[in-house]
Structure formats: C-alpha cells, structure tokens
Structure 1
Amino acid sequence: MLDLATLHEAIAAAVPDRECLVWGDHRVTWREMAERTRRLANVLHGHGLGLREDGGRAEPWESPHEHLALYLHNGPEYLEGLVGAHKARVAPFNVNYRYVDDELAHLFRDARPAAVIYHARFAPVIGRVVAQLERRPLLLQVADASGEDLLPGALDYEEALAKASAEPLRDVRPEAGDLHILYTGGTTGMPKGVLWRIGDLMTGPLGMRRRDGAPLTDLGEALEKAVRSDHRVLVGPPLMHGAGTWSALGGWCGGACVVFPGRVDGLDAADLMATAERERITRMPLVGDAFARPIVEALEARPHDLGSMRTFVNSAAAISPDVKRRLLELLPHARIVDILGSSESGFQVARNGSSARSFMPTPGTAVLSADRSRRLAPGEDEMGWLAKGGDAIPLGYLGDPAKTAATFLTLDGERLVVAGDRARLLADGTVEVHGREATTINTGGEKVFAEEVENVLRGLPGVADALVVGRPSERWGTKIVAVVRPVPDGAAPGDEELREGCAAHLARYKIPKAFVRTDLGLRLPNGKADYATARTLLN
C-alpha cells in the first residue's frame, strides 16, 4: 500500500519545478512544498511528537499517534499541516473554525491534540480552550490580517519552519497504516473522529485506483501517472470538511496543482470563476446548490473562458435539476459527476449527467436489508441501508467502541460500514438513495426522507433553497414543514404553488403541510444543510 508522505516526496523528486500550489500571487513548486512539509515534520518531531511510545493499536477505535489539530481557513498551511504531520507520523485532524469555546473544548477533549496549527484570528478562543486542557499542546500560530498577537508560549509558524531543517527525518519511516483522522460535521449528532489508515484513504476517497477500479498501490505506477498529469484543481469548499480535503489531497496524489481562490473565508463565486479562468482549471469540487447556483449566476452575469474545465465533482449535497442544466448549457464541454458518500464510507455511488436519478455503485458498495442481516439482490423491493466494504474503509471512531460497533459490522466474513443512508437496489443494479435516517420524518405512520422533498422544492420556480424539518402535531405526530428561501428579487411562490409543484413529483403524505419563508442562508460553510437554523425559524 502507498502512504501520502512517501508519494509526495517521490512526486517532488520527479517534477521539482512544477507548480504544486497556487493562491493568488503565492506560487509554490513541488520542491518548495516538499521542503516546507519536511521543516514542519522536523518541528513536530523536535517537540517529541510522532508515534507514541506505547504505539501498539489493539482496538479499531484506538490511535497510536500524537494528534495535530488544524484550525485554519483554506491556504498553504492547511495542506502543509496534513502532509507534514504524516511525514512525522503524527495523525492530523480537522477542526471546524466556526466552533465557539464549548464546542471546541468538547472536540479537543475527544481528540487530545498534542499540537495545534491555527490562524491568528482564532488565537483568543484557542487561548481560552487550551487553558482548560490537562496537557497544553504545542501551539503554532499562522499570521494573518487580524493583527492578533502571538499567544504566550506559542511559536510563530513561519519562524518555526525557518529555524527547522529541510532534510527528511532520518529515523522516521511513514507507513500506509498510519492514521488520518476526519471529524464528522456533527450535523446529525456530536462530531466523531473517523480513523482512516492513510493507505485506505488513498485508494478510497483520494482516488488512487486504476481505470478498472483496482486499487493503485505500486509507487512506480502511481508516480508515472502523476508525472503525466496536467490537472489543476480549484478547491473552494473548506478543507475543514471531507469534500475539500479529499479534493486537494486527491489532486496532489495524482500530481495535480492545487489552487485556492482569493477569498477563503467564504464563497465568492465571481472570485472563484475569475480564478478558474486565470489558472486554466481542469477540475473543481462543488457542494450542492450552495456552490453551483452562485457559480451559474456568476457565469450568466459575465462570460468566462473556461475551455480547460473538464469535470465538476459534486458531493455532500444535491444540485437541483434546473441549476445543473444551466451549468451544463454554459459549459457544454464539461461534465458533472455526482458522488455520494460520508466521512465513514468515502465515496459509495456516483452518477453522470443532468437527468440521471439513480447512482452506479462504486467497488465494495452493497445495499443491506432493513435488519442489516443480508445483502439485497437487484430488484428486491425493500428499503435497505447503503453499505460499503472492500479494501478502503475506516477502522472506527476514535475512543468510541460502542459507536464503532454500531456503524462497522461484519457480514458473511466481510467488514462493512453502514453510515446511515437509506437506499434501494434497483433491478438494473443501480442504487436509488433516499437520504439519511437521521433526517427522516415519521408523519402519520409514514416515513418521509427530508432530502427527497428538498430536492423537489429546489427544482421549483422561484425557490433558491429549501430544507424540510418536522414540527410536533397532535394530528400527525410530526408535521412536515418546509423552510424556503425564495430567489432574490423574484416573485416568491405562494403556498398553493409550492404544493402543486410538489404534487407533480411526490405522494400526498410527503407534501409539506406548511411553508416558512426566510432570507437567511440555509447552508453551512461546507454547503451542507443547516437544519439547526431551519428549526429556529419554526418558532
């Protein structure tokens, strides 16, 4: 199996002067990036961080590594942190930069960071939270425009790297079994640290596979593929979530140059498209309508030369049919690939085009029966569970044997992960995905998948976005309510128009009983649904 640190060094040795990362005027070659990540590895190692002395891992929820927290907006330091950590055999993990003190304290108690790399603007909250920890982590502060002073005892990131050696660590040998921790977004519960072996992450979500779907594990073969690459990947989604990290690291594993837009603390579609045009981008990740709709509007407002664009990879949220159609009309030479997965499973199913409704399963994907006791055969009319097995799934949840046992199971001798998506396996072998069990609404004895209703609403005229939640009801037990954000400066559709639009695609019991309108955004920074905000609007 491959590991990230070794492959990164091999690509840098093969194409040292090729661009590796671009952010505005900041351009870094593969040689320079290799040196900077080595310097960071030396900083971490010099402070005693790496594989712990008791480095054996007896259980799938245990980590033998020291952990590095990345509390950053997108930028070079985030990717340097990910790769530099692996070169020191430290396990990196993501931190949601929107967390306030209590949320961050909970995360740090769970993750036990031995080091934190953070932007200076987050220094006040970092200072308050680390004061509560039993063990004070190494603090590496990245200067930004905030003007925040260096925290007491913290190291300036650039000064620390400048003083460190640019030579590889001689007594540290990264392995494919080293861990990479991805914390879930916490949209359906408290965040959980998913433990991925870096080798599994590479052959899974990072896309290190041959054309026939077989895992790519030979260093020479992977290097040959990377050297031939001409890809330039523009990463707009935040790296603090899987879609952003997997797009960036997957790009690097394939030899691509990773590009960030000028603005990294929020979505600026005009800036994103200007960057795509200037840097001749070939691939770009999207996160549903929250990204796709503003991009379409930016392209409709001003033509851009995006002839190099080949692929939009959409994950984590759906793109409504009208938005997808408009995007493909604007860029007919490009394609949209919809991928569905999770932090726990990687990518499970995919589809191409604007009209496809079901997904093609990726290697290892199965649909289990409702009681999770067997695999369903194509065409069995049972609402089951989307599952993933094979050679690229995580080990478990950090420090949580109960949740690990509930999500990771063994069936017929094969280990599977069941992240919580309900699905049907159709007669043609494709998968019809209905949505997360955690967002299912039981109304009048019928189960309604919120995402199914939301997808219909977002396709109706005058609707910019919509979320569906449940409200207590004496008659129904739970009543379906849609929170709708109308298109700006347009004629907001009335309740009856929305009901009629839904009735053309949904059974009567799935149609919302009430509609609430709002001008507020209904998406988190990563483009996922913000159900917490939607529920506050019901009061």
Structure 2
Amino acid sequence: MPDTPPPASADPHRFEAGLEKRAANYVPLTPASLLARAAAAFGARVAVIDGERRITYAALHERCLRLASALAGRGIRRLDTVAILASNIPEMVEAHFAVPMLGAVLNPLNTRLDPATIAFSLRHGDARVLIVEAAHAALAARALAELEQPPLVVSIGQAGQDAGVPYEALIEGGDPAYAWKGPEDEWQSLCLLYTSGTTGDPKGAVYSHRGAYLQALGNAVTFGLSGESVYLWTLPMFHCSGWSYPWACVAAGATQVCLRKVEPAEIFRLIAEHGVTHLCGAPIVLSMIAHAPAHERRDFPQVVRCAVGGAAPSSTIIRTMEEMGFRITHLYGATESYGPATACLAQPDWQDLSDEARYQRMARQGVALATLEAVTVTDPETGEPVPRDGSRIGEIRLRGNTIMKGYLGNPGATGRALADGWYATGDLAVWHPDGSVEIKDRSKDIIISGGENISSLEVEEVLMRHPAVMLAAVVARPDETWGETPCAFLEAKPDATLPSADEVIAFCRERMARFKVPKRVVFGPLPKTSTGKIQKFVLRELARELG
C-alpha cells in the first residue's frame, strides 16, 4: 500500500463533479467540538467532580473558552506548545479542550519524572506556557532553572510573587464568548506526548485533531461509556493524554471523578460514594485494589468496568476483582496509538468455559477498536502475516487514523516506527483463529534457552498464582550451558510469609515445562517506571550481576 494517494483524475466522475466539500457538509474533526456539543445538549449535567467541587458541562465549556481566550491574549498562537504539569485535577481536563480550541499543541508532562527530563521536554517541545499545579511547583522550579528561555508560568493553587500568573485570574480575564474556529486541517497537530524510553532522550509522539476525535469515539464505544457513566481517574491524565479518555468521557456525556493519588482506600470510597461505573489503570492498580486490606474496602451495588493496559492481569487478580464486583476488560496500545488500539471483547461461548479457560481468553490483547483500521501479526523476517493458528509468533503491527503523526523532530525514528504502511510495535504475539492477538513478549524480553523460546509473560502468569506473590517479573539470565535461563524477581503480598526459592521453583515445576522453570528466584520490591510499568531493563542488569 503506498504511503501517498494517487493524483486526482483530470475528469472527475459524476459522483464527484459538483459535489465538493462545503462548509455545510465538511468540518475538520476536532475533540474540542465534543465539549461544545455536550454543553449545548446537557449543560446542567455534572461533568467533573473534584472533592466538594462540581463542574457542570456548561461551566466546563465556559471555563475552557475563557482559558483559550486568555492564552490567545498572552500571544499564544496556532501550533505553539502549552505544557501542563499537574495531577488528575479539573484543570487537566480543561487543558485538553482549551488548548485545542486555540489551535495550540498541548504537552502533558509526567509528574513523576526528574527535573532534567522535564527540562528536556520543555526545551525540545519549545513550550511557550507551562501550567503548574502547586503540588509540583518545586519540580517545575528545578526544571525551569535549567532553561535559558523559560516559558510563561501559569500557577494552579499557588500564591506569591514567584508563582507566576494565577490560573483562576487568567480564567477570569478570558472571554466566555471566545469564537474558536477549530483547525483548518484535521491533520493539524494537537498533542505532544513524550514516551518514557529506557535509553536515550524521550521521543515526542504527536497526535492530530482527527486522531484524537476518532480515538475518543472508539474508546466510548468499546468501553460502553454513556451519559449514565461515572469515570474514576485512576489512570494518570499525563499518560497518553489519559488514553484519550478526557475526550471520550465528554463525547459520551459521562461524569469524570478526579483522583490525585492512587490509594485503594480512596478508590473504594469514591466508587461507593459517587457510583463509579468505569475506571482504567495499569496492572499495578488492579493489584493494589485486589490486595487491599479488608478495612480499606467498601461495598458497592454496581458493577464497575475496569480496563487494564500493559501486561495481562493474572488469573488470580481477575478472579479476586470479579468477586469484588469489577468486570475486567484487557486493552492493548501505546503512546503512539493514542492509548488503546485493541480490546479483548468477551464472546458468547465464554460462558461455557471453565474459569481458568475464560481467564486465559480474557488475557488476550483482542481485536482492533472500531476506529483503528487494522491490526496484524507479521513474520519479522518476511513481513507477511503469520497463520492464525495461535502458535506462530510474529510482531504486532497497527494501522489507522489513531496512529501518531510521528515523533517531533526525529524523522529517523518516525521512519523506522511507521515503515511499510504500519506502526511496528515491537511486541511479539500469536494470532488466534477468532482474529484475536495474544502477546507472548516484547521482542527484547523473549528468553532463548538451549534454542527454545520462553515467554516471560507465560512464566510470570504461573508465578502470580502463588499465594504469596503479588507481582512477578521474569528476565533472561546468562548461562554458560543454556545461553540464557529464566530469572524470577518477585514482590510479595503484604504480610505474606515468604517461601524459599526452592519452594517457588517446585511450584513452577508442577505447572510448566521444566526448561521454562526459573533457575533463580529473588524477592524484593520491583523497580517501576513513572507510569507503573516494571523496569525489566533494570532487572536484566541485576540478573547479569547475580552471576
């Protein structure tokens, strides 16, 4: 498939001639229009809950118009970068609409990064404005100190001469009748999201207005969001723009509940008090909920749909969550795909399966969202799709309107990621006869022992069934005889009695082929990224040092 369309014919077909795009029948897609529609359709409905604060859709729309107007008054123009360093607060939702209204580019920054990385992002993205929540003012100050030309600072909840322009004062000075026009071209850049790479500088994935609009609809349909939904922000809004859920919730007319810090007791309280129906998170979030002590839990009558990204949750976690009133949906995606790209959708025949068989199906990465053009699994050598037999391993590739435009200022990395008409994910998977894909590992995480490929995810799934294990990560450890052997790093459940390494190995031998059994077992806290992913590159280095 060519990357550029063929030239238009000199003599248009009768179904084209005289049927051109007009203002009446063609408007470039933008997620900002979703808020305008919501305010007009159900302005009195509560859009955002933050503690005692309630913001209706009408008020949210007005605040976004004021913010866009005020930033324009400060000289911010089309394609200027507006960065924001904040927790899951209403102002993060507002930024996801106000900045696109202005035609500028929003750059949500990871609050868990170090000052040098924050400074790199501000410098590389050429931020003209930095909106900062008071809780992260010290981090912002250290990052800004490294810049020769710091951006205009807008402060949320701060006071004092050095705090910058107060956010609420900026809002008050904006025009509530600001006439935003939307992008002239829906391919126009909308968001800049820096990936948390393990080596080198972060790469800045660029989203378009078109992609964000379509991803919002794809999320809403896939996750069953509606005007009756209450969405709890257990996922950081700075991560992939909250997997595009700030836009998805508004598209559906749902209520968003803010959560600044992921704590099980607070999650249960908000679920019970606000009737939360949906939440998203990394596997670590599900693990925290599932292992919450009894005194932190609250009963609730509704079923809570919980979408999890990253590695598939273990069967133990799924069982525990279902018993507590949660229904799990496994999603798969990346920063480069606006968050979720595929979803594991329950099938009618699953109800006839045993629990263990059903959990295995639920752990698959599933099929493409309705708004993604295609997903395939290809042979890394030939580039051809692998058979849909559930056993042949290939690389997952994605294509569609919800794939990033590319990496800002990095044409080499863009070309490698988007070569041959597909986004190459680097994830290795099999393709099942029903069309669902199932990740076996990252290409760099496959363990090759004595010529046999071992999926670290498969070994981790078995380890997570052990009653004392809360988290498991398996990496390759050099071995003179076998080349590599599995090395397991385990984080125990709170108050669990630690088993010996021999007991863990014996547990695995009863449940998997002997060549897959870890030869070394280490207990202790697992290193994690700022978004909760386990840092296997750190563990690989530790495994090498174990000798």
TM score, norm. by length of structure 2: 0.83
Aligned to 1:385: 395
Aligned to 2:383: 373
Aligned to 2:89: 75
* 1:384-423 to 2 correspondences below 5 Å: 384-410=394-420, 415-423=421-429
Larger Rg: 2
Give unmatched runs, 5+ long, in structure 2: 1-27, 347-357
CA drift at 1:110: 2.4
Aligned to 2:465: 459
Distance in 1 separating the partners of 2:463 and 2:279: 26
Distance in 2 separating the partners of 1:105 and 1:68: 14
Distance in 2 separating the partners of 1:267 and 1:291: 8
More displaced stretch, 177-186 vs 25-34: 177-186
Selected match of 1:431 from 429, 432, 437? 437
**CA separation of 1:405/1:255 partners in 2, compared to 1, >3 Å: closer, same or farther?**
same
Aligned to 2:273: 278
Matched, 1:238 2:214: no
Secondary structure at the aligned position of 2:494 is classed as coil
* 1:198-277 to 2 correspondences below 5 Å: 198-204=209-215, 207=218, 229-242=227-240, 244-261=242-259, 264=260, 266-277=261-272
Aligned residues: 498
More displaced stretch, 16-25 vs 415-424: 415-424
Amino acid corresponding to residue 527 of structure 1 in structure 2: G
CA drift at 1:134: 4.6
CA drift at 1:197: 1.2
**CA separation of 1:267/1:150 partners in 2, compared to 1, >3 Å: closer, same or farther?**
farther
**CA separation of 1:96/1:389 partners in 2, compared to 1, >3 Å: closer, same or farther?**
same
More displaced stretch, 26-35 vs 508-517: 508-517
Runs of 4+ displaced beyond 6 Å: none
Selected match of 2:333 from 323, 329, 341? 341
Are the counterparts in 2 of residues 127 and 151 from structure 1 also a CA contact under 8 Å? no
Identity %: 26
Matched, 1:318 2:312: yes
More displaced stretch, 179-188 vs 387-396: 179-188
What whole-Å deviation, never above 9, does each CA across 1:199-239 have from its counterpart, x for those lacking one? 2133236526768x9xxxxxxxxxxx99x621110111211
**CA separation of 1:46/1:255 partners in 2, compared to 1, >3 Å: closer, same or farther?**
same
Distance in 1 separating the partners of 2:438 and 2:457: 13
Are the counterparts in 2 of residues 269 and 298 from structure 1 also a CA contact under 8 Å? yes
CA drift at 1:136: 2.7
Distance in 1 separating the partners of 2:539 and 2:34: 44
Are the counterparts in 1 of residues 395 and 429 from structure 2 also a CA contact under 8 Å? yes
TM score, norm. by length of structure 1: 0.84
Are the counterparts in 1 of residues 86 and 111 from structure 2 also a CA contact under 8 Å? yes
CA drift at 1:446: 4.4
Aligned to 2:302: 308
Amino acid corresponding to residue 533 of structure 2 in structure 1: K
Matched, 1:287 2:282: yes
Distance in 2 separating the partners of 1:455 and 1:111: 39
More displaced stretch, 456-465 vs 122-131: 122-131
Selected match of 1:531 from 532, 536, 547? 536
Matched, 1:182 2:193: yes
Distance in 1 separating the partners of 2:502 and 2:161: 57
* 1:154-165 to 2 correspondences below 5 Å: 154-165=164-175
Distance in 1 separating the partners of 2:103 and 2:241: 23
CA drift at 1:93: 1.8
CA drift at 1:28: 0.4
**CA separation of 1:294/1:439 partners in 2, compared to 1, >3 Å: closer, same or farther?**
same
Amino acid corresponding to residue 270 of structure 1 in structure 2: A
Are the counterparts in 1 of residues 312 and 364 from structure 2 also a CA contact under 8 Å? no
Give unmatched runs, 5+ long, in structure 1: 52-64, 214-224
Secondary structure at the aligned position of 2:75 is classed as coil
What RMSD, in angstroms, separates the aligned Cα atoms of the two structures?
2.8
Amino acid corresponding to residue 207 of structure 1 in structure 2: G
Amino acid corresponding to residue 268 of structure 2 in structure 1: M
What whole-Å deviation, never above 9, does each CA across 1:92-114 have from its counterpart, x for those lacking one? 12211122222222222322212
**CA separation of 1:172/1:231 partners in 2, compared to 1, >3 Å: closer, same or farther?**
closer
